[in-house]
Amino acid sequence: MDAPRGESRGRRASDRDSGAHPGVADGPVSRIRELPLAGAALLDHLRVTGRPRPAADPTFTAELRAFLEDGIADLGPSAPPPDEGRWLVTPDRLDRSLSCRAHRRADGTERAFTVPMACGALVGVLFRQLVTVGRIADPMTEALEGLSLDDRQVPLVAWIEGLARAERAELDMEVARQARGLSDRWPSLDPSWLPRTGDAVRVPLGDGTVELTGRVDLAIGRPAGEVATTALVDLASGGRRPAHRHERGFQALVETLRSSVPPFAVATYYSRTGELDVEPVDHELLVAAAKRCLAGTRVLLGEAPSADDAGWCAACAVQLRRPPVVLAGGASDPPVRVGAEPVGLTREEAA
Amino acid sequence: MSGATRSVTELLMTAEEPPVGSEGWTRLRDRLTAGVSDAATGLVGGADLEIGLRQVRRARYQPESLHLPDEPFAWRPVFVRRSLGMAAVRACADGRFRGPAEAVGPLADRAVDEWRLSGWRTFHWEPWLAGLGSGGRALVLADAVTWATALWGALDWAGLGATVELGPPDDRWSVPGPGAVRLRGRYEARVVRARPSGPAHRASALLSLSGGRPGDGWRDELAFLALVSGLATPAGPTPVRVVGLWPEAGARRVVDVDERALTDAVDRVVDTVAVTTDVVGAAAAGV
C-alpha cells in the first residue's frame, strides 16, 4: 500500500537541513517560545499558527485509514488480544514497542509509579479543574480529591498516600508550584470555543481488533466542520522530550481519523516551565504519525522490530541523529539500513 | 453550520419512513410477549428483569459480566455527567449560556441550592455533589462539560428549532405475562414532526449518544429504542428513524424503522432475556 499522498511532497526543507531523523524532526514547525506566555498571548500562540487552517479532506483521511488497515491486514496476532479482545494502541505503548534495544525495558511491562508520574497525574487533574471552574485554591488537596474519583487512578492515589514524608513533601511542593504557574498563565477560555477536557478518543481499525486510543487533555473548537477549527493541547508536567512530538502526531492522527477533519494545531503545554510547543497540522505530520503508528502497531501485534523501526525510538531522539542511511554491504550481503547510530559513528562502531 | 452537524440534523428532520401501522405493532407485541415468556421461564424466583440498552449490549458482548453481583451503588462522575450535561445542553439551546462550559457550574450550584432549601432533588445527585470538595466537584463538572459538548456540537440548533425534546423521560413498557420483565428505552433527543396526513400521524426521530464504539449489533440496538418508544406510547409520535452517535469513535449510524428492523429488535430482546436467564441461573446453581 502506498503511503498517503502527503508523503510524496517530501520532507520540509527545515527537516532536511537539520539532519533530524524521521518523525522527530526539529525546526520552525515546532514553534518554541523560551519565555512563558500568559493570558491572551498564550492563546494567540495556540490559535494563530501562521498557516491556513486545513480543510476537511475525506479522501486523504480515507487514505490514512487504508494505509493503517492495509498495513496490519497481513498480521495474525501472535497472542490473544490483551484488552478485552482488542489491541489498544496508545502513545505510551507505541513508544515502548518502538524503543531500540538500548532503551527497551527488559520486562516490557507498564511503567511503575514514580513521583514525576504522580505529579503529572495530579497536575493533569488541576488543569481540568482550572479550565472548568477557573480557579485552584488548595492544589494538593483538590488534585487528590479529583484523582480519587477516577476508578482507574485508585492504585496511584494509594501509592501517593503511602509515600514517605520527604517524597510526599517534594511532590506537594512541585504540584503547588505548577498549579501556581497554571493559574497565573492560563486565561479563562471563551465558552463559545467549546473547551472540553479529558476527551476520550478511540479509532477502531479493520475489524476492530486493533484500536487506536487516547485522551485529549484539552480540546478547543467545534469537533467537526468543513475547515479545521479544533486545537488539541497535551499537558506535560516534566521536561520537554522528543516523545511529546510523537504524542502530538498521534493525537492529530486519531482526531483526524475520528472526525474526518484534522485539528488545525496540536500542542504540548509544559506546566513546569510554562512553555507551549505548537505544531500546525498538515499532511506531512499526519503521514509521519501514521507511518510511526503502523510500525509500532505491527510490533505490538507480534512482529519482530526491524532495523528501520529503530529510527522511531523516542529515547534515542534526545540526541541529534543522522537520517537512516542505506549502507551497501558485501556483494552477497543485503543492504543494511542503519537508522539509530549516533552522529559520527561508523557502521562498525554502530554494530 | 458544519457539514457534520448539518447532516445529523437533516437526518433527524427528514425521516420519512412510513410508520409501522397498528397491525404491525400488534404482531410485534405478540412476538415479544411469546418470546420473552419462553425465555424467562428459568428466571430464578421470578426475579425482576429490566432490559435497557446496557443489558442488551452486555448480553451480546460481555455475557459473562451478567452473573457478576451488582456492586453496592455509589455515586460517581459517570452517573452525573449525562443528567447535568443534558441540563447544560438544554440551557444552551434556550440561549441562556454560550456553551456547556459556561452552563454546568451555575446549573449544578442551583440544583444543590434548591435541594438545601427545599429538600427537593431534581437530579438525585445533589447531596453527593454538595459533599464533595472543590477538587472532586470540579472533576464532576469537567466530565459533564465533555459529555455535553459532544451533544451540543453534534447538532445545528438553529435548524432544529422548537421540534426537539432533549432528554425526555425514559420509555418504559412491561412485557405482559407471568414474569416481571420490563423494557426501558433511553435516548438523548427526540425530534417530532407532523406528517402530511395530520397531527394524528406525527412521526419522531430519536438521537442516541453512546460511549465507546458501535458493536456489530448496533442496528438492533438503535431499533430497540424505537421499539420501546412505540410500545410505551402507542398514541404518541411513531418513531421512524433512530440516529446513533458514538462521539469517542466519531461514529454515526442510522436505522430507518420498519417492521423488519423492529422484529430484529424484538428477537434481540428475547435473546437478551434468554442469555440473562441462562447466566444468572447457572450462577445460582453454582455452575
How close is the nearest chain B Cα to the Cα of A320, in Å?
37
Domain's final residue, options A159, A180, A201: A180
Q: A198 and A254 share a domain?
A: yes
Identity of the residue in B101, B135, B248 whose CB atom sits nearest the CB atom of A195: B101
pLDDT at A319 over 80: no
Q: Domain for residue A305, yes or no?
A: no
CB contact under 8 A, A194 and B102: no
B204 vs B196: CA distance, rounded Å: 13
Q: CA of B74: which chain A residue's CA is closest?
A: A149
In whole angstroms, what is the distance from residue B221 CA to residue B266 CA? Answer: 10
For chain B, say whether A323 makes contact (Cβ under 8 Å): no
Q: Is the pLDDT of residue A342 over 50?
A: no
Nearest-Cα distance to chain A for B176, in Å, is 37
Residue A149 lies in a domain: yes
The answer to whether B142 contacts A191, with C-beta atoms less than 8 Å apart, is no
SS3 label, residue B56: helix
Please check whether residues A93 and A199 belong to one and the same domain. Answer: yes
> pLDDT digits over A171-197, tens only?
999 999 999 999 999 999 999 999 999
What are the cell numbers at B109?
450550584
Are A294 and A73 a contacting pair, CB within 8 Å?
no
Q: Which residues contact B159 (CB under 8 A, 6 or more apart)?
A: B1, B6, B9, B10, B13
Q: Would you say the C-alpha torsion B12, B156, B140, B168 has a positive or negative sign?
A: negative
Residue A306 counted as domain residue: no
- The alpha-carbon gap from B163 to the nearest alpha carbon of chain A, in Å, equals 23
* One-character DSSP codes across B16-34: -PPPP-HHHHHHHHHHHHH
Q: Are residues A102 and A196 located together in one domain of the fold?
A: yes
**For position A6, what pLDDT does the model report?**
47
A14 and A163 within one domain: no
Torsion sign (Cα): A44, A45, A49, A54: negative
Decide if B147 contacts B246 (C-beta within 8 A): no
Task: Judge if A152 and A237 occupy the same domain.
Answer: no
pLDDT greater than 50 at residue B1:
no
What pLDDT does residue A256 have? 95
Contact between chains at A132 and B141 (C-beta distance less than 8 A): yes
Give the per-residue SS3 of chain A. CCCCHHHHHCCCHHHHHHCCCCCCCCCCCCECCCCCCCHHHHHHHHHCCCCCCCECCHHHHHHHHHHHHHHHCCCCCCCCCCECCEEEECHHHHHHHCCCCCCCCCCCCCCCCCHHHHHHHHHHHHHHHHHHHCCCCCHHHHHHHHHHCCHHHHHHHHHHHCCCHHHHHHHHHHHHHHHHHHHHHCCCCCHHHCCEEEEEEEEEECCCCEEEEEEEEEEECCCCCCECCCEEEEEECCCCCHHHHHHHHHHHHHHHHHHCCCCCEEEEEECCCCEEEEEECCHHHHHHHHHHHHHHHHHHCCCCCCHHHHHHCCCHHHCCECCCEEECCCCCCCCEEECCCECCCCHHHHC
Residues 116-145 (A) with a CB less than 8 A from some CB of B: 125-126, 128-129, 131-133, 137-138, 141-145
Q: How many CB atoms lie within 10 A of CB B266?
A: 25
Question: Residues B141-181: pLDDT tens digits?
Answer: 999 999 999 999 999 888 887 678 999 999 999 998 766 89
Single-letter amino acid code for the residue at A7: E
| A77 and A25 within one domain | yes
- Residue A303's pLDDT band (boundaries 50, 70, 90)? confident
**Burial of B80 by CB count in 10 Å (0-12 exposed, 13-18 middle, 19+ buried)?**
buried
Q: For chain A, positions 173-192, list CB contacts with chain B under 8 A.
A: 189-192
Q: Specify whether the CB–CB gap between A299 and A318 falls below 8 A.
A: no
| CB contact at 8 A, B170 and B185 | yes
- Judge: B250–A137 Cβ closer than 8 Å, yes or no: no
Whether A197 and A263 map to the same domain: the answer is: yes
Same domain, A56 and A149: no
- The separation between CA A224 and the C-alpha centre of its own chain, rounded to angstroms, equals 21
CA distance A298 to B258: 43
- Count Cβ atoms within 10 A of the Cβ of residue A36 and give its class: 0-12 exposed, 13-18 middle, 19 or more buried: middle
- CA B113, chain centre distance (Å): 28
β-bridge mates for residue A233, sequence order: A218, A267
> Residue A133: its chain B contacts at CB < 8 A?
105, 134, 137-138, 141
Q: Do A133 and B141 touch (CB under 8 A)?
A: yes
C-alpha cell at B92: 444552551
Nearest CA in chain B to A143: B135
pLDDT number for residue B285: 66
A149 closest CB neighbour out of B62, B103, B139: B139
Residue B34 has pLDDT above 80, yes or no: yes
Which residue in this structure is represented by grid cell 461514529?
Answer: B251
Q: Which pLDDT belongs to residue A293?
A: 95
Same domain, A42 and A167: no
* Cell (9 digits) for B81: 455527567
pLDDT value at residue A288: 94
Q: State which of A137, A158, A180 marks the end of a domain.
A: A180
Q: Which of B5, B76, B98 has the CB atom closest to A191's CB atom?
A: B98
Closest C-alpha to A289, from A225, A222, A232: A232
Residue B144's nearest CA partner among B74, B82, B76, B75 is: B82
> B132–A145: do the CB atoms touch at under 8 Å?
yes
Q: What is the pLDDT of residues A270-299, one digit of tens each?
A: 999 999 999 999 999 999 999 999 999 998
Residue percentage of chain B with pLDDT more than 90: 67
Decide if A146 and B150 are in contact by the 8 Å CB cutoff. no
Phi/psi of residue A295, each to 5°? Answer: -60, -45
Q: Name the more confident of A5 and B50.
A: B50
**Closest CA–CA distance from residue B11 to any residue of chain A (Å):** 16
Contact (CB, 8 A) for A221 and A193: yes
Q: Which domain holds residue A197?
A: 5-108+191-300
- Give per-residue pLDDT as tens, A107-141: 455 568 999 999 999 999 999 999 999 999 999 99
Shortest distance, CA A228 to any CA of chain B (angstroms):
10
- A89 and A208 together in one domain: yes
- Are B249 and A203 within 8 A, CB to CB? yes
CA atoms within 13 A on the CB side of A56: 16
Q: Do B249 and A142 touch (CB under 8 A)?
A: no
**Most confident of the following: A4-18, A219-233, A256-270, B195-209:** A256-270
Judgement on whether residues A15 and A98 belong to the same structural domain of the protein: yes
Within a domain: A186: no
Q: Sorting pLDDT into bands at 50, 70 and 90, what band is A243?
A: confident
Q: Do B4 and A138 touch (CB under 8 A)?
A: no
Is A196 domain-assigned? yes
Q: Which cell numbers hold the place of A108?
A: 516490557
**Cα nearest neighbour of B248 on chain A:** A201
Which residues does chain B have within 8 Å of residue A126's beta carbon, measured at their own beta carbons?
135
Spell out which residues of chain A touch residue B5, defining contact as CB-CB under 8 Å. 222, 224-225
pLDDT digits (tens, 9 = 90+) for B108-122: 999 999 999 999 899
Q: Is residue A244 part of a domain?
A: yes
**Chain B CB within 8 Å of residue A333 CB:** no
Neighbours of B45 (CB within 10 A): 6
For residue A53, tell me if it sits in a domain. yes
Residue A34 included in any domain: yes
Say how many domains are in chain A. 3
**Record: contact A132-B138, CB cut-off 8 A:** yes
Nearest-angstrom CA–CA distance, B266 and B36:
9
Closest residue of chain A to B101, computed from CA coordinates: A191
Contact check, Cβ <8 Å, B138/A146: yes
Q: Does A146 touch chain B (CB under 8 A)?
A: yes
Q: Are residues A209 and A86 in the same domain?
A: yes
User: CB burial class (10 A; 0-12, 13-18, 19+) of residue B4?
Assistant: buried
Residues belonging to chain B with any Cβ–Cβ distance to chain A shorter than 8 Å: 2-5, 62, 76-77, 97-105, 132-143, 145-146, 149-150, 152-154, 211-213, 247-250
Phi, psi angle pair for B250, to nearest 5°:
65, 30
* Mutation site, A123, A125, A133, A216, interface B, largest B CB count within 10 A: A133
**Which residue among A131, A146, A208 places its CB closest to the CB of B136?**
A146
User: Are B138 and A133 in contact (CB < 8 Å)?
Assistant: yes
Are the beta carbons of B103 and B92 closer than 8 angstroms? yes
Count of CB atoms within 10 A of residue B218's CB?
A: 18
Q: pLDDT tens digits for B236-250?
A: 888 999 999 999 999
Is the pLDDT at B199 greater than 60? The verdict is no
Nearest-CB residue to A201 (from B140, B145, B248)? B248
- At residue A152, what is the residue type? R
What is the number of CB-based contacts under 8 A between chain A and chain B?
Answer: 134
Of the candidates A179, A140, A133, the residue with the CA atom closest to the CA atom of residue A157: A140
Given a contact cutoff of 8 angstroms between Cβ atoms, the answer to whether A119 and A175 are in contact is yes
Distance from CA of A148 to the nearest CA of B (A): 8
